[in-house]
Amino acid sequence: MRTPIVAGNWKMHGRLEMARTLTADIALSAPADVEVVLCPPYPYLGVLAEVLENRSVALGAQNLASEAEGAYTGEVAGEMLAEFGCRYVLVGHSERRSLFGETDDEVAAKFCRAQAAGLQPVLCLGESQAEREAGDTEAVIARQLDAVLSRAGVAALTTAVIAYEPVWAIGTGLTASPAQAQAVHAFIRARVAQQSPEVAAGVRILYGGSVKADNAASLLAEPDIDGGLIGGASLDADSFLAICQAATTAQ
């Protein structure tokens, strides 16, 4: 039995007052049987950790440095995130890969750094529209996943989460159909199972890409979809809570 997990990626949206209100509203009504994670912008982590004191909702960050310490102006170490109450961190989000040039190797390094700092990485994988149209979806996902497996080892996935996020579905309003998403999730689980059936059975694989309150239930009903990584809809407490609720009922 895999506990569902729903994570909100706020990206660079909102300001402090919105962050406080959104966090408090979500914490007040988050269902107990779903792991709920909020990933606000870095500067708000400390304040929101206080808002979330004694609440079940966890904090995550959207990125971390691939190094632990040193002369890396503008970077933030995993250990610093942990000090501010983070338990999760997104790694390899498609915007990091496409806009900031993160390579598979760098993503794998960040994955390892996150775990070394005691954070659970949420490893984002996904193909572009052109890659899907060329029939390369599985090859792309395999390449991105293998980069992490070969560096971290399959056992590392016992304290990590995977998120399948087709790039063409992020922020576009286009969602993978439940069948399309399930097919890729099953592919990911099968690829992990080649190295460890036990790890594959336990690892949670989230779907992300224009998940909204009205399409969440059908996606989450698929057997290999264990939750969601939510962008736009996580900026509205009611929408996000409705998605969390859909994750409960899908169990």
Binding site for ligand PEP (CB under 6 A): 9, 165, 170-171, 208-211, 229-233
Separation between Cα atoms, residue 87 and residue 78, nearest integer Å: 10
Within a 10 A sphere around the Cβ of 41, how many other Cβ atoms? 17
Catalytic status, residue 75: no
Separation between Cα atoms, residue 65 and residue 77, nearest integer Å: 5
Residue nearest to ligand PEP according to CB distances in the complex: 231
From the list 35, 93, 95, 185, the catalytic residue is 93
Q: How far is the CB of 169 from ligand PEP (least distance, A)?
A: 6
Catalytic status, residue 165: yes
Determine the length of the chain: 251
From the list 95, 102, 131, 165, the catalytic residue is 165
Separation between Cα atoms, residue 18 and residue 38, nearest integer Å: 13
Residue number, 10 or 80, with CB nearest to ligand PEP: 10
Q: How far is the CB of 54 from ligand PEP (least distance, A)?
A: 28
Distance of CA 176 to the CA centre of its chain: 17
81 contact partners, CB below 8 Å, separation of at least 6: 45, 61, 64, 89, 117, 119
Residue number, 147 or 233, with CB nearest to ligand PEP: 233
What's the one-letter identity of residue 21? T
Q: How far is the CB of 228 from ligand PEP (least distance, A)?
A: 8
Residues β-bridged to residue 36? 6
Q: How far is the CB of 165 from ligand PEP (least distance, A)?
A: 5
> Of 187, 222, 201, which Cα lies nearest the Cα of 158?
201
Report the phi/psi class of residue 172: left, alpha or beta, with left for phi > 0 and alpha for psi in -120 to 50.
alpha
Q: Is the dihedral of CA 97, 206, 24, 91 positive or negative?
A: negative
Residue number, 95 or 131, with CB nearest to ligand PEP: 95
Cβ–Cβ < 8 Å for 53, 29: no
Residue number, 36 or 199, with CB nearest to ligand PEP: 36
Residue number, 147 or 211, with CB nearest to ligand PEP: 211
Q: How far is the CB of 207 from ligand PEP (least distance, A)?
A: 9
Catalytic residues: 93, 165
